[in-house]
A and B are shown apart, each in its own frame.
Chain A
Amino acid sequence: MEQNIESDNSKEEISRVTLGDVSPMRLDCGFELKNFEVAYKTYGKLNKEKTNTILVCHALSGDQFVSGINPFSGKPGWWDLVIGPNKLIDTERFFVICPNIIGGCMGTIGPKEINRDTGQPWGLDFPVITISDMVRAQALLLDYLGVDKLFCAIGGSMGGMQVLEWAVAYPDRVFAAVPIATASHHSAQNIAFHEVGRQAIMADKDWCGGNYFNHDCYPKRGLGIARMIAHITYLSEPALQSKFGRRLQDRDAVTFGFDADFQVESYLRYQGSTFVDRFDANSYLYITRAMDYFDLAERYGNGSLAEAFRGTNTRFCVISFSSDWLYQTSESRAIVKALNAVAANVSFAEIDSDKGHDAFLLKEPEFWKVLSGFIDGAAQKYGLNGSQ
């Protein structure tokens, strides 16, 4: 395996490695992926005993730039509040790995990347992937980085699905798992929202059957609408109410037209328009599909989630947020119930918050207290002392 370090114009480096070169990685759909690249970022140092690794799994629209400044957006990484030197997940102490998922669009293989066989972007020729496929690729990345066992796997939303998949598919490689604001399968409502998003993209004539890269166009409107819909599901009614209410946008009265009269409209339009600049429309289709297909109980437990977890020695900390209606507390409770049924070591806290699903990315002191306590407690049990 070779590692290519590519530098862009900013200070950040993007680490990319070619995996599946010795033998191809078989995907759930049957496709064999060979010589594919995975982009990732690491923070901190792997200790001598190789025991201090924390894998951070990103969500649908996330990327590998979890801490520090994201070189593409120029903004702080998506979990910079939590991860970094002397922060809650202290990179002076832990070796943090954050890979971009397969199917993504930040350097890891996905529909935007060039298919070596054709010299063209994959587009819809890219095989449909699953959460298991993403995790299998991450396991290969860990092999490459020389990490046999994770001290902890952590992630929210789709990142939480990867964490659950890790704990079940590789029980011996995960000492502690923190699935946050997530579920063991996608509900009908989750699938429904994703379907509307996908339909918005595919209904945009600039999508060109997924072939926009050959037609010098881009389904901006469709992807923008998909993001606007999704963004509503990430918030909560009280959050929208307190942030915007019925306040008008730069005007004193409604205009009797379809311009963005209300602040909330203007905000959603902005969210949609900035998203299309950084995200690939086909990637959005593939990743939402992977989430829809996720069903841990069906895959590993013959329909029983408890069976999927049977025999696990991993320490779990399941966390949900009271106002999250996308991945509700009841979904987290179902995971906890299944873990209890096999007498697994599990902690569970519902954090009282009005910020909706996005709360896991925001400043939530109570959440941080719980997370930090769990990580410290687990580190102690794992024999990791204060400083590495």
Chain B
Amino acid sequence: MITKITGIIRRDLRLIAGIVTNNSRVLDVGCGEGELLDYLDKNKEVDGRGIELSSSGVNSCVAAGLSVIQGDADQDLDNYPDQAFDYVILSQTLQATRQPHKVLDNLVRIGKYAIVSFPNFGHWRVRLALMMHGRMPQTDILSYNWYDTPNIHFCTIKDFVALCVKLNINIESGIALNRRGFERQIGGKGLRFANLRGEQAIFLLKRH
């Protein structure tokens, strides 16, 4: 959904893969060309499934032997039964969904754990761009114009944490990644700092 800066996103996927345990059942929502599923299949022997919006993405996934269907996070998650997967992953897609709160609710319903990553709109560069230029921010990672962006529901790390509290979703752990790919645990006093310095965040969630 967002422009993928190789170094950073690869790191993001690697971090997500690091959370997933071997031989688990995984659903990757918005799986793109299947990079993560393929990695998990080969390295963690997971039973992996994917949902992808673009038909070119779906077709290349299936052609690569991955179990992927065409669909989207807003409409197709309702079909899945409770706790059907060990992990449901939503990487860099939350901001493009119509109803992020419902999607989050579904993720922790379908999965024993949900792993969610998203670009942080509270990052200092975003704040600076708006403050200094008075224009909608365009950064490396948020490269669309305001009028043609698929990203319709941006949030900051703080917003996300607040939503989880509201939805009664437990945050097991959180990591903020800065531009150079440095990681920082999100939690307690670190939240404010992470919200300023983290270009993107990865959360491990569980229903209370």
Which A positions have Cβ atoms within 8 angstroms of B? Answer: 315, 317, 336-337, 340-343, 345-352, 366, 369-370, 372-374, 376-378, 380
Q: Rank and list the top 6 A-B pairs by shortest CB-CB distance, nearest first.
A: A377-B65, A373-B63, A343-B84, A348-B69, A340-B79, A369-B63
- Asked if B67 is at the interface (CB within 8 A of a chain A CB), the reply is yes
**A372 to chain B: which residues have CB within 8 Å?**
63
Tell me, rounded to whole Å, the shortest Cβ–Cβ distance linking B185 to chain A: 33
Is the CB–CB distance between B49 and A376 below 8 Å?
Answer: no
Is the CB–CB distance between A349 and B81 below 8 Å?
Answer: no
Query: For this complex, into which size category does the number of interface residues on chain B fall?
Result: 20 to 34
Is the CB–CB distance between B55 and A352 below 8 Å?
Answer: yes
Question: Known: A340-B76, A345-B49. Contact between A380 and B65, CB under 8 A?
Answer: yes
Is the CB–CB distance between B64 and A377 below 8 Å?
Answer: yes
Is the CB–CB distance between A377 and B66 below 8 Å?
Answer: yes
Is the CB–CB distance between A350 and B55 below 8 Å?
Answer: yes
Is the CB–CB distance between A370 and B62 below 8 Å?
Answer: yes
Tell me, rounded to whole Å, the shortest Cβ–Cβ distance linking A311 to chain B: 12
> A164 vs B27: C-alpha distance in the bound complex, in angstroms?
24
> A336 vs B76: C-alpha distance in the bound complex, in angstroms?
10
- Asked if B97 is at the interface (CB within 8 A of a chain A CB), the reply is no
Tell me, rounded to whole Å, the shortest Cβ–Cβ distance linking B22 to chain A: 16
A315, A340, A348, A378: the one contacting B58 at CB < 8 Å is A348
**A345 to chain B: which residues have CB within 8 Å?**
47, 49, 67
B58, B80, B84, B85: the one contacting A349 at CB < 8 Å is B58
Is the CB–CB distance between A336 and B63 below 8 Å?
Answer: no
**A348 to chain B: which residues have CB within 8 Å?**
58, 68-71
Is the CB–CB distance between A340 and B69 below 8 Å?
Answer: yes
**B178 to chain A: which residues have CB within 8 Å?**
none
Contact indicator per residue, chain B 76-100, by CB within 8 Å of chain A (1) or not (0) = 1001110011000000000000000
Contact indicator per residue, chain B 25-55, by CB within 8 Å of chain A (1) or not (0) = 0000000000000000000000101000001
> A352 vs B56: C-alpha distance in the bound complex, in angstroms?
10
A343, A349, A369: the one contacting B70 at CB < 8 Å is A349
- A381 (CB) vs chain B CBs: closest residue: B65
Which B positions have Cβ atoms within 8 angstroms of A? Answer: 47, 49, 55, 58-59, 61-71, 76, 79-81, 84-85
Q: 13 new A-B pairs (CB below 8 Å) besides A341-B81, A343-B84, A370-B59? A: A343-B81, A345-B67, A347-B66, A348-B69, A349-B55, A349-B58, A366-B59, A369-B59, A372-B63, A373-B64, A373-B65, A376-B65, A377-B66
- A342 (CB) vs chain B CBs: closest residue: B81
Question: Known: A348-B58, A350-B55. Contact between A370 and B63, CB under 8 A?
Answer: yes
Question: Known: A343-B85, A349-B70, A350-B70. Contact between A337 and B79, CB under 8 A?
Answer: yes
**B80 to chain A: which residues have CB within 8 Å?**
340-341, 343
> A349 vs B51: C-alpha distance in the bound complex, in angstroms?
11
8 residue pairs from A and B, CB less than 8 Å apart: A337-B79, A341-B80, A348-B69, A348-B71, A349-B55, A349-B70, A373-B64, A377-B64
- B64 (CB) vs chain A CBs: closest residue: A373
> A340 vs B51: C-alpha distance in the bound complex, in angstroms?
11
> A317 vs B47: C-alpha distance in the bound complex, in angstroms?
16
> A380 vs B69: C-alpha distance in the bound complex, in angstroms?
20
> A315 vs B68: C-alpha distance in the bound complex, in angstroms?
11
> A136 vs B80: C-alpha distance in the bound complex, in angstroms?
31
**B59 to chain A: which residues have CB within 8 Å?**
349, 351, 366, 369-370
- A320 (CB) vs chain B CBs: closest residue: B70
Is the CB–CB distance between A347 and B67 below 8 Å?
Answer: yes
Is the CB–CB distance between B63 and A346 below 8 Å?
Answer: no
**A352 to chain B: which residues have CB within 8 Å?**
55
A342, A346, A366: the one contacting B69 at CB < 8 Å is A346
> A10 vs B98: C-alpha distance in the bound complex, in angstroms?
63
Tell me, rounded to whole Å, the shortest Cβ–Cβ distance linking A251 to chain B: 43
Question: Known: A341-B81, A352-B55, A369-B59. Contact between A347 and B69, CB under 8 A?
Answer: yes
Is the CB–CB distance between A349 and B79 below 8 Å?
Answer: no
Tell me, rounded to whole Å, the shortest Cβ–Cβ distance linking A314 to chain B: 12
Tell me, rounded to whole Å, the shortest Cβ–Cβ distance linking B174 to chain A: 28
Tell me, rounded to whole Å, the shortest Cβ–Cβ distance linking A158 to chain B: 23
